Amino acid sequence: MCKSKTLVFSENALRTRLQKDIDAGIRERNDIIDRAVSKLSNYANIIGIKIDVSDITSEQAANYI
């Protein structure tokens, strides 16, 4: 049986990455940060493998998966 994998961030990493996207014009709404942070606690209830990608690149996460 294959367990689901979920990528998770620390709050600080999430804020930093979203702000980088806003600054680069990839995302337009500043309120996205607060909305995303408010949903972080939902990930605690997910059953499966959680991969903390707070301090790794997307390429490293892909290799891990």
Q: Which helix (H) or strand (E) holds 33?
A: helix 31-38
Instruction: Please write the tens of the pLDDT for every residue from 11-50.
Output: 999 999 999 999 999 998 878 999 999 999 998 888 888 9
Query: What is residue 1's predicted lDDT score, i.e. its pLDDT?
Result: 55
Query: What is residue 65's predicted lDDT score, i.e. its pLDDT?
Result: 81
Give how many domains the chain has, as a whole number.
1
Q: What is the mean pLDDT of the chain?
A: 90
Query: What is residue 37's predicted lDDT score, i.e. its pLDDT?
Result: 94
Query: What is residue 21's predicted lDDT score, i.e. its pLDDT?
Result: 93
The answer to whether the CB of 51 falls within 8 A of the CB of 61 is yes
Could you list the residue range(s) of the whole structural domain that residue 14 is in? Answer: 5-64
Query: What is residue 64's predicted lDDT score, i.e. its pLDDT?
Result: 85
